[in-house]
Amino acid sequence: MENSLFASGRRQGLIAAVLGVIERAAPMDIADIVDLDRYPLDSEGFGTRANTILDEQGVLVLEGFIRPAALSVMQDEAKAGQDRAYFCKQSHSVYLTPPDPAKAATHPVNRQVESSKGCICDDVIPSGSPLRLLYDHPTFRNFVKRATGEAELHPYADPLSSINIHYANRGQELGWHFDNSSFAITLLIQKPEAGARFEYVKDLRNADIGDMNFDGVGAVLDGTLAPQVLSMEAGTLVLFRGRNSIHRVSPNESDTTRMLAVLAYNSEPGVELSESARMTFYGRLS
């Protein structure tokens, strides 16, 4: 006959294991994902201070934004999805515009830089992912509205573009460029040991009045104008105004893949990334 104490202990172990599975499977709340003690997202005053910093500095860096347990889940999900990533290499201008035949090939508007990375799309992110809960949560979205000054925020209408995870293996990089959007939100999921630095020059141009600052861009490309370097650890959330601030991610110099989530919103509903852009960045339309 089986020892009753042993049987009882085994039953307790099985029960504990089952409860552990149930607990891990339980949906996360935003308080399980974000360190709300450090970053009170629902505070209007905190949102106002964030807006001031973003407007004055062009970048808002929230270190330790994601709690360690949630970050670990995001890392596991990103690693699991990496085999489905679409990798591509592109040459493009800083301005992300077609070549101008009226200008020399050495003109800053025609000089080419290289971007190479992998990407998985919104439809690959698990429905119960803490990354998706964060993106959809009204507390986070309201904070982003306060921080950016946007009246409304909406997901992309296409099934691919709202949440992306970017992968940069050894030697891969994001070349110098200006963004088309007024702001970007990124979350570093995994940091490599060397390289892959986020570098930028604040307010190098003023696109709203048509000032492209070709001389300044040329100086950046020639290496005579030194950029600022933004250091960050995994779990850091960054809001960045890249429309007028040139920026890049330098080549990854380690064997650890850089993993970065991009959370993209629109100020109006029903916006889709163009079919051309989807094929370029994702290799598919849906």
pLDDT at residue 169, rounded to an integer: 98
Residue 10 has pLDDT above 70, yes or no: no
* pLDDT at residue 23 is higher than 70: no
- Per-residue pLDDT at 76: 98
Measured in whole angstroms, the distance separating CA 61 from the mean position of its chain's CA atoms is: 12
Q: What residues make up the domain containing 236?
A: 4-282
C-alpha to C-alpha distance for 53 and 147, rounded to whole angstroms: 9
Query: Residue 277: its pLDDT value, please?
Result: 87
Task: Report residue 276's pLDDT band, with 50, 70 and 90 as the boundaries.
Answer: confident
Say what the pTM is: 0.88
Is 89:206 a contact under the CB 8 Å cutoff?
A: no
Domain containing residue 23: CATH number? 2.60.120.620
The token pair that represents 87 in the structure block: 């990798």
pLDDT on residue 27:
66
* Environment class of 123 (CB within 10 Å of its CB; exposed 0-12, middle 13-18, buried 19+): middle
Mean pLDDT of the chain: 91
Residue whose entry in the numeric block shows the structure tokens 């929230």: 62
Compute CA distances 172 → 102, 120, 163, 200, whole Å: 32, 16, 21, 18
Q: How many residues does the chain have?
A: 286
Beginning with the edge strand found earlier in the chain, give each strand of the sheet holding 198-201 in spatial order. 174-177, 246-249, 198-201, 228-230
Choice among 7-21, 23-37, 134-148, 219-233 with the minimum mean pLDDT? 7-21
Q: What is the mean pLDDT of residues 158-163?
A: 96
Tell me whether strands 246-249 and 174-177 are parallel, antiparallel or unpaired.
Answer: antiparallel
Question: How many domains is the chain partitioned into structurally?
Answer: 1
pLDDT tens-digit map of 196-241: 999 999 999 999 999 999 999 999 999 999 999 999 999 999 999 9
What's the CA gap between 105 and 1, in Å, rounded? 87
Express as a percent the part of the chain with pLDDT over 70. 91
Provide CB contacts within 8 A for 185, sequence distance 6+: 144, 237, 238, 239, 240, 262, 263, 264, 265
Average pLDDT over residues 165-180: 97
Spatial separation of the C-alpha atoms in residues 228 and 90, rounded to whole Å: 24
- DSSP 8-state class, residue 213: -
pLDDT for residue 26: 58
Residue with the bigger pLDDT between 180 and 111: it is 111
How far does Cα 93 stand from its chain's mean position?
21
Structure tokens at 175: 């070349």
Half-sphere exposure at residue 250, Cβ-oriented, CA atoms within 13 angstroms: 17
Question: How many angstroms separate the first and last alpha carbons of the chain?
Answer: 60
Segment 51-85, tens digit of pLDDT: 999 999 999 999 999 999 999 999 999 999 999 99
